[in-house]
Amino acid sequence: MALIQILLLCVALNLDAFCFAFAFGIKKTKLSWLNILTICIIDLFMLGAGLFISYALQSVVQSNLLTIIGACILMVLGAYYIISFFIKGHLHSVSCSAAAVADKNNVLSFKEALFLGFVAGIDGFAAGLASSFSLSNIFIMLGIFFAVIFGFIFCGSVLGYKISKKINLDFSWVSGLILIGIGVVRLVW
C-alpha cells in the first residue's frame, strides 16, 4: 500500500478522534496529556493487533483473497460511517460526551479515557484486519497513525475550546467516503 493510502487511512480512522476532541473542547471539558496519550496508545494497540493478525494470515490465505476481503471490510466500514451520520448521528461523540458531562469538574477521567480509547479503537482494529501490509509498512502505518491521532485529538480539543458557542460539526461521513475510496482503489490496483 502506498504511503498516500496509509496517510489517508490514518486520517479517515482518526477523524472521529478530532470530532470527539472538538466536542469536548466546545463543552470546555479538559483532556489531560495523560488522557490524550491513553486514548492514542489504546487506539494504536488495537490497530496494531488488527495489522499483525492480518500479516499472520497472509502466510495462510492467498494474498488476492485477503486484498478482496480487506477492501470489502474497508468499504463496509466506510458505508457504516456514512449511514450512522445520516441516520443516528455521530455515535462516538454522543456516547463519550455524555460520559464526560457526568463529571462536574469538566475533566475527562482516566476511566473515561480508557473507555473512549477502546470505543474509538474498534474501527482501527477492523481496518487493521482489512489491511494486508508488509511488516515494514506496519511499522510505518503505526508511526503515522500515532502522530495523526495525537495531532487530531490535541488540535480538536484546542480548537473546540477556543470556540465560544456550540457548533454542531460531524465529519464521520467524510471518513466513510475516504474508507470506501481506499477500498475501491485496493480492488482496482
**Cα–Cα distance measured from residue 167 to residue 93, given in angstroms and rounded to the nearest whole number:** 13
Q: Pull the grid cell for residue 180.
A: 470506501
Question: pLDDT value at position 143?
Answer: 93
Q: Which of 156, 169, 175 is nearest to 89 (CA)?
A: 169
**Cα–Cα distance measured from residue 182 to residue 184, given in angstroms and rounded to the nearest whole number:** 5
- Residue burial 154-183, b: 16+ Cβ < 10 Å; e: rest: bebbeebbeeeeeeeebbbbbbbebbbbbb
Question: pLDDT value at position 42?
Answer: 94
* pTM for this model (two decimals): 0.70
Band of pLDDT at residue 142, cut at 50, 70 and 90: very high
**Cα–Cα distance measured from residue 111 to residue 109, given in angstroms and rounded to the nearest whole number:** 5
- Percentage above 70 pLDDT, the chain: 73
